[in-house]
């Protein structure tokens, strides 16, 4: 059996780590494709090293720029790899452009797709990640839901011909194993951790400025690891200069995974626009302040552990000062063994059947750099 996995962003790398290990343990061949969507390989090497992920078999080195151009480059390159490698299944993660490109290229060649983190929805239908996730779910034969809400949504949408499996969240698996492996203390510390990367915030000067104003006005110590793309926008908009007097905000370099987990584990609260970081915050019992009006993972809000402020300065400052969750902390996102259930589902669903080569059309392999 051969699995082809497509990754391209930090959350993808994190999820891939335990899947890669479990596939190896079972003697299943994996071909790893890194699109380079957010990081070139040198920049992402720290994630591969820290998480014990082997170097990718292929690195596509896609260009940055408009989503259509980026998606097109990925589609062309992934199609060439699929024709050459003839996998039994393509595994895609989450909701990024790499997810959609991997799913679409595979479906057009009649290669089945398994989608990790299927079924997560928000009401913002034209949000880029929402589009990627909905389209990938339609194209996938195996839908792997990370929480009950996502599982229920997939059932409601009636994905005819697809199998839906509730696995739990692999981000919980790797987070808890990292805390244990490196003996990282989980405490309510004396700082707020901030992460921002969504286009709705970082590409909009008004929104980005309002969030920074909320952080500054809170007077709390804020540690803000800045993604390269976010830093570029801060510089373009003149916001680093505008907020240089806000001495409570510490703008730092991007962090490796282990370093980020240490920061998260020691934070008092978290301000984020990330779907992944809000889950990581919940798992480590950190109150989350959501600086974007998107409703991923309503189970966290129902539990009382997140407040949605959007990019509103006064609401952010108030939440940093006053928001506290209840004492109860329900178990969400599985039992810490989602990676085993995911591989179980893949083996059960795709472990036998016709060779993938029979489903592939012929065509030129083209040139794709193999690392």
Q: What residues are annotated to the active site?
A: 197
CA dist., res. 187 & res. 189, Å (int): 6
CA dist., res. 191 & res. 249, Å (int): 10
CB 227 within 8 A of CB 254: yes
Query: Which residues, including other chains, have CB under 8 Å from residue 348's CB and lie 6 or more apart?
Result: none
CB 48 within 8 A of CB 13: yes
CA dist., res. 345 & res. 333, Å (int): 17
CA dist., res. 198 & res. 220, Å (int): 23
Residue 124 Rama label (left phi>0; alpha psi -120 to 50; beta) = beta
Question: What CA–CA distances, in Å, run from 86 to 30, 56, 206?
Answer: 11, 17, 47
CB 137 within 8 A of CB 119: yes
CB 321 within 8 A of CB 90: no
């Amino acid at each position: 059996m051969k699995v082809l996995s497509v990754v391209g962003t930090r959350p993808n790398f994190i999820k891939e780590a335990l899947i890669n290990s479990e596939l190896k343990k079972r003697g299943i061949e994996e071909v790893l494709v890194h699109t380079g969507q957010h990081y070139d390989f040198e920049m992402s090497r720290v994630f591969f090293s820290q998480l014990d992920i082997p170097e990718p078999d292929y690195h596509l080195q896609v260009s940055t720029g408009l989503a259509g151009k980026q998606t097109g480059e990925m589609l062309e390159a992934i199609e060439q790899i699929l024709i050459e490698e003839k996998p039994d299944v393509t595994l895609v993660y989450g909701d990024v452009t790499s997810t959609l490109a991997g799913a679409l290229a595979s479906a057009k060649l009649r290669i089945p797709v398994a989608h990790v983190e299927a079924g997560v929805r928000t009401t913002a239908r034209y949000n880029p990640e929402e589009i990627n996730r909905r389209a990938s779910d339609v194209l996938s034969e195996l839908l792997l839901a990370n929480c009950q809400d996502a599982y229920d949504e997939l059932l409601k949408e009636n994905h005819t011909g697809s199998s839906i499996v509730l696995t739990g969240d692999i981000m919980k698996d790797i987070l808890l194993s990292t805390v244990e492996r490196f003996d990282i203390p989980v405490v309510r510390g004396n700082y707020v951790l901030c992460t921002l990367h969504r286009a709705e915030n970082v590409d909009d000067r008004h929104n980005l400025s309002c969030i920074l104003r909320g952080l500054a006005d809170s007077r709390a110590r804020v540690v803000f690891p800045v993604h390269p793309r976010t830093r570029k926008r801060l510089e373009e908009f003149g916001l680093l200069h505008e907020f240089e007097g806000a001495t409570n905000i510490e703008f730092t370099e991007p962090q490796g995974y282990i370093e980020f987990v240490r920061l998260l584990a020691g934070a008092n609260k978290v301000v984020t626009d990330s779907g992944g970081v809000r889950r990581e915050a919940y798992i480590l019992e950190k109150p989350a302040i959501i600086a974007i009006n998107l409703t991923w993972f309503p189970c966290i809000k129902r539990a009382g552990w997140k407040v949605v402020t959007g990019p509103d300065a006064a609401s952010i400052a108030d939440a940093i000062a006053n928001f506290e969750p209840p004492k109860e902390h329900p178990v969400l996102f599985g039992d810490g063994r989602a990676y085993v259930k995911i591989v179980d589902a893949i083996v059960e669903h795709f472990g036998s059947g016709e060779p993938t080569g029979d489903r592939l059309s012929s065509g030129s392999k083209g040139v794709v750099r193999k690392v």
